[in-house]
Amino acid sequence: MSDSSTLHVLTVVGARPQFVKAAVLSRAFASANRGAGRELVRESLLHTGQHWDHGMSGVFFEEMAIPEPCANLGVGGGTHGAMTGRMLEAIETELLARRPDLVLVYGDTNSTLAGALAAAKLHLPVAHVEAGLRSFNRRMPEEINRVLVDHLATWLFCPSPASAAQLGREGIVDGVEVSGDVMVDAQLFYRSRAVRPVRTEPFALATLHRAENTDDPQRLRAIVAALAGGPLRVVLPVHPRTRAAFDRVGLGALGRLELVEPLSYLEMLGHLDAARFVVTDSGGLQKEAYVFGKRCVTLRDETEWTELVDAGANRLVGADPDRIRAGLRWADAPLWAIAPIYGDGHAGERIVSRLLAAGRAAR
């Protein structure tokens, strides 16, 4: 740590779920400073550019009042190895120039891995928010990223007891803390500002973007056919990768599947609040559906959010049309028992308190 009385945190973000998580911690840092009447912590936000266009990036910074990035590396597109390598080099340059006390990373993207690896090679401590999650599918790039980052991190903030227990099974015990999930903080804070859709017809909310589904024409056609022939309209905000995949496959009539442009975070919350249920291959939306009291049909064969399956709130259906259709019928019912699996909405405060205490101890 530096000799300054102010803890300098450099936060690495690059993908839209990370912008939401970063907004929670940035707000908690500012609150800690206000409470102390001085600058306890200074945050530098570094944007890798992994999600680069306005609909996937800029609008999030605007509507969530996230601090402007100290730099935007503009690293987007390319293979996983090429993207991560370019990020690693650029982040290292920024770390050498800015000399933070610690590096804060979120989740499991290429930006997460590059940020953690660059910091570790410069002997800077790493704080990993959303630690301990495992799908146990090493074919997923996200699984490789999250495992490596957890084994590099100094502080590991887990969204649930199950994720902390998984770290213990891997021999990681130092620096592990069950903080709760910062996405719960975000949902509770922003829910009153959600922008609800102008719709009268019942609908389900869907997302579809993982390479295992979009890059395999057979899986993509099977998923689309099942959703298009489902019991009610399915609204699908289309990620740019998914739009390109639809164009490549040349899908015909989409039936009850309605493609819309990417939604801002507040629009997404509004759709989630209004939807009957959720269909997704995303990680975060499975959990968000639970917080909003919606059942979730997951278009994957495994999930890192295993607690939701155990609670009967989430059903894994893969890309099998019969399982998907059965899942759609199952999901169109209320989710009655909502236990606070992922915390009480104060995860950000706990994380900031722990980092400030660690900073004081290091001095």
Cross-strand partners of 129? 106, 157
pLDDT reported for residue 54: 46
Q: How wide is the angle at C-alpha 183 spanned by C-alphas 289 and 362, nearest 5°?
A: 155
Structural domain boundaries of the chain? Answer: 7-181+343-362, 193-331
Q: Which residues of the chain have pLDDT under 70?
A: 1-4, 51-58, 60, 252, 337, 363
Axis-axis angle for helices 284-291, 182-190 (nearest 10)? 50
Q: How wide is the angle at C-alpha 322 spanned by C-alphas 316 and 328, nearest 5°?
A: 60
pLDDT reported for residue 317: 98
Tokens of residue 173, six digits = 């015990």
73-116 confidence digits (pLDDT tens): 999 778 999 999 999 999 999 999 999 999 999 999 999 999 99
Residues classed as catalytic: 209
Architecture of domain 193-331 in this structure: 3-Layer(aba) Sandwich (3.40)
DSSP-derived letter for residue 71 is: E
CA quadruple 184, 185, 186, 187: dihedral sign: positive
Assigned CATH for 7-181+343-362: 3.40.50.2000
112-146 confidence digits (pLDDT tens): 999 999 999 999 999 999 999 999 999 889 999 99
pLDDT reported for residue 359: 82
210-219 confidence digits (pLDDT tens): 989 999 999 9
Rg, C-alpha atoms of the chain: 20
Residue 41: which residues within 8 A CB-CB, separation 6 or more? Answer: 6, 7, 8, 9, 29, 32, 33, 352, 355, 356, 359
Q: Is 313 in a helix, a strand, or coil?
A: coil
Axis-axis angle for helices 16-36, 347-362 (nearest 10)? 60
Note whether 7-181+343-362 and 193-331 share their fold: yes
DSSP-derived letter for residue 14 is: -
